[in-house]
Chain A
Amino acid sequence: MKAFTYQRAGSAEDAARLAAHPGAMLLAGGTTLLDLAKCGVAEPDMLVDIGHISGLDAIAVDAGGATIGALAKMSAVADHAGMRAAFPAVAESLSQAASAQLRNMATIGGNLLQRTRCPYFRDPAAFPACNKRDPGSGCAAIGGVTRNHAVLGTSEACIATYPGDLAVALVAFDAAVRLGGRTIAVEEFFLVPGDTPAREHAIGPGEMITAVAIPASPAARRSTFLKVRDRQSYEFAAASAAVGLELGPDGRTIRDLRVALGGVATVPWRCRAVEDALKGTLLEPESVRAASRLAVEGAVAQADNAHKIDLAPRLVARAILSLGGLA
């Protein structure tokens, strides 16, 4: 790892001031940043430790929803009784992520900003071409080994999968990211690669994530996070689905439905077409399976990842049916 200087920020303003130094980066738990510094992808000159800013690790859940401070640890949110009751999909997305050790270190803000696991991105010495790392250099993945690359939201410049789990659950339930004074919907926070894959999110200069806010809803309360991986645990998603379901008083009519996909797209992927097709209809296996296929509308497969286009809708259907007691 290249040497860097280290500064502690006492406040968000302090962090913004220090981060304005050329070569400076914010540091929270460090589990993404140090990993990337070891692979030579991140080469910070200065790390600005935001971990000592007070008041940013609170988790508050009430009837209106949840507010999670950017410095709250993944483990604290995953184990929080109020989160597990009101937002099971969010808590499950975290308890199925990484390892117990890493969840004790990693923060919610850092989790949202984790970088892709695209193996070409992570190995600059062997693969100089990567538009995300070095705009205009090309994409070593296209035409390479693409088993874990995205099928949704890709561009000719980059096909890297957004690897995180939490953001998938957040986008399903209309959560927002607080950047100090400004709030932005998670759905707009993450940017598809287009021609500018190096730009991954909407944080402007001098801004940092201070909190995540999730509105309460009956669908969030009856929700689940399903994650399939190449091995049973401790692996990034081959595909994941965050789904919430609200049934009407008859117990069969779908009043509200939230569906988002992970592990298959360049950003956390909200599937409104599935939601719209099923809202107001009766919960039935046939129609749920048919509508779930809309989750991958517009998908484009690379050489090795066509299986994701089959896998994702099955996962969505399984999640909806299991929440409805039909699977």
Chain B
Amino acid sequence: MAQSRYDLAILGGGPGGYVAAIRAAQLGMSVAVIEREHLGGVCLNWGCIPTKALLRSAEVMRLARHGDAFGLDIDSPRFDIAAVVGRSRKVADRLSQGVRHLLSKHSVTIINDEGQLAGPGTVRVGETLLEAGHIVLATGARPRELPEVKADERVIWTYRKAMVPETMPESVIVIGSGAIGIEFASFYRDMGAGVTVVEVVDRILPSEDEEISAIARKSFEKQGINIHTGSVVQEVTTSQEGATVRIADDAGEEHLLAAERVILAVGIVGNTENLGLEGTGVTVSGGHVAVNRWLETGEEGVFAIGDLAGPPWLAHKASHEGIIAVERIAGLDHVEPLDTGSIPGCTYCHPQIASIGLTEAAARDAGHAVRVGRFPFLGNGKAIAMGDDEGMVKTVFDADTGELLGAHMIGAEVTELIHGFAIARTLETTEAELMATIFPHPTLSEMMGESVLAAYGRALHI
């Protein structure tokens, strides 16, 4: 340990913590990051990145399987699950090393250990006490369990085990249809497993626009995924061969589902334990540390960011909060609280889903007179050339002011498109600027322009 006094001590080196560290270093602070496991946190090691590597293998597999559609003769493609997982781990390791390098480059001290609060302006790491002008808690979260269902990581998996399978299960039941659950459902289906999704709400991907949920469901069912919505898991029993899941549907009827493995994806709870919060002003509510819009906890000088501080559980939200907290600490002018209406969300299943802002229903509920535009992938040349013409771009505008209230997309590569609408929202553009924007041809992005035109009755290609 180079020193024992820092301007800023950060607990947790995930996308919240490490980005906060770099920004603080840029602002001239001396910074220590205390990370008990891997730099990069869940995101790089057990979340965003390794799952995207797996899904890439699944995509290649799917394309190979449909090679004939592209004029290719690929004889029954096979895979080696150990190699697929191995690639995913290698990608994660490479990025984790990258974070280490970035932090060193900014002269951030990295302490590989567990840390906790130990009195005002003090952090304990093992036997050592560090003094810190300010402290940022960024310890992330872990999978939530259900009272009825405890993960044993043998038959009942959390994401952690689900992304490093040793063998390919013949069938899986995914409990929970949020982004994580749906990504695993998509991965395992593409790799050939029988997949069943159980969701308690009456539609999958419940935080997405209802129309998008409906299109996604249709597509997944076409791919052979079984979906039970409005269904409550009563009990999961495990045996040597697998698990039996008893669910009750919204009509109160019970069904028995059986599969080799169960993946539990019902949300997360913050890592609030063993942080030395007892006796401090930091309060925990609903499994997360309570913060104000400046990410300040109830304890002077202590901030909390990322998954620990509550939803949405997204890496870019964690990073952005890290920057806000640090700039606030540095006393910069013009620091803005997070605009929660402008956080894009992406799900990398097939077809992909991406959205920002209000759903159509939420916009109406908020009292907006809305104009809604829709443009189908069927009407886009690039989508057809790619052989992937399933999906839609939907835009929601305030009819009076032309404000882009929300955008909702499903289809190929939409996760790479949504940023266009994120920029639009951040710049507060209206439909007029979006209509004046020239989208390159032939690209999927043309559908963004068309969707805006459609909202005003001017779509060109439908």
Are A and B bound to each other?
A: no
B interface vs A, CB < 8 Å? none
A interface vs B, CB < 8 Å? none
